[in-house]
Amino acid sequence: MSSWSPTKYKTKNWPSYNTALKQRGSLSIWFDLEMPWHALPTGKRGRQPEFSDAAIQACLTMKVLFGMPLRQTTGFVESLLRLAGLDWKVPDFSTLCRRQKALNVAIPYRGGSGPLHLLIDATGIKAEGEGEWNARKHGGPKKRLWRKLHLGMDEETLEIRAIGVTTSNVGDAPMLPDLLEQIPPDQEIATVIADGAYDTRRCHNVIAARGAASIIPPRKNAQLWKPTTAGAIARNEAVRACKYLGRALWRKLTGYHRRSRAETKMNCVKLLGQGLMARDFDRQVAELQIRIAVLNRYTALGIPVTEPVG
């Protein structure tokens, strides 16, 4: 009896994917002349905002992408506009800081050609405190704080479609309904793939309510639930399949291994910074959302197309 070996894949579109990787390092920055840089009147009493959300997001995108403080970001954007021959006024650092707290970040995505296969995962991002080595060696001067980033990724396009940011004491499973609510109701969801932390009644029920199939491994000591809901029935089938087929075969038949792509995307998020520069929670949420917008634009340039070998 031969031992099991993982499936190997071969990239089929190396020329176009290689071009996309080169474009990700391009320093060409384009400003659309039709971009609403200055804000329209709100019709409310009080001082009107001078800059639009698009202008604030453009400046903060440069800040996140190049890891600059707010004052350096202002000077950087001023030099870009000067090189482009535009006489647009640049928000000062205090305006950027104030507007970041309530910024409505626009996250672009292309969308796939068919039903959505959603990959769910969560990770921690350092918010305050020293690094791991320094904290163990010398002791951190302040308490180390973490923010938890919850993501829902489209398996076909590798773009992030849903994002949630919480404190470190919030679990993974309670955020799944919020992630699914960010998907438009008219968008058909085929499957939702997540790890065993999402093996709860509420998660299975909200997935079934969207008409999707849940690919979530049951816990090792999982027992059958009362088949009172569609989510419980689907989960009981997974428990029986894992019991009679084994977990390894169940994962292979259901395609559970596809969830590893979400873990890879988490690593891409951290490549833009292991920690957060903002200190206020609302500003930290906007900073992470801008990171996701940057990654989606990177992904739109091109992704690898693979096929099994053999």
Question: In this structure, what is the dihedral angle of CA atoms 303, 305, 309, 310, given to the nearest 10 degrees?
Answer: 160
Residue 264 CB partners (closer than 8 Å, separation 6+): none
Q: What percent of the chain has pLDDT over 90?
A: 72
Judged by average pLDDT, the poorest of 24-38, 90-104, 229-243 is 24-38
The answer to whether residue 1 scores a pLDDT higher than 50 is no
The model's pLDDT over 11-26, given as tens digits with 9 standing for 90+, comes to 899 999 999 999 998 8
Average pLDDT, the chain: 90
The pLDDT, as a whole number, for residue 7 is 74
Instruction: Match 């679990």 to its residue by tokens.
Output: 171
SS3 string, 48-65, reads CCCECHHHHHHHHHHHHH
* Stretch 205-218: mean pLDDT: 95
Backbone Cα Rg of the chain: 22
| Global confidence as pTM | 0.90
The model's pLDDT over 163-207, given as tens digits with 9 standing for 90+, comes to 999 999 999 999 999 999 999 999 999 999 999 999 999 999 999
Structural domain spans, the chain: 8-104, 116-271
d(CA 293, CA 103): 13
Quote the DSSP letter at residue 218. Answer: P
Name the residue type at position 24.
Answer: R
Alpha carbon 190 to its chain's center? 19
* Stretch 115-131: mean pLDDT: 87
The pLDDT, as a whole number, for residue 284 is 95
Judged by average pLDDT, the poorest of 34-43, 72-81, 129-138, 213-222 is 129-138
The answer to whether residue 139 scores a pLDDT higher than 70 is no
Q: What angle do CA 171, 172, 173 make, to 5 degrees?
A: 100
d(CA 145, CA 140): 11
Question: In this structure, what is the dihedral angle of CA atoms 228, 231, 237, 241, given to the nearest 10 degrees?
Answer: -140
The residues with which 11 forms a beta bridge, in sequence order, are: 306
State which fold the 116-271 domain adopts: Nucleotidyltransferase; domain 5 (3.30.420)
Residue 25 CB partners (closer than 8 Å, separation 6+): none
The pLDDT, as a whole number, for residue 28 is 87
Name the residue type at position 297.
Answer: R
The model's pLDDT over 251-306, given as tens digits with 9 standing for 90+, comes to 999 999 999 999 999 999 999 988 899 989 999 999 999 999 999 999 999 998 88
d(CA 278, CA 238): 42
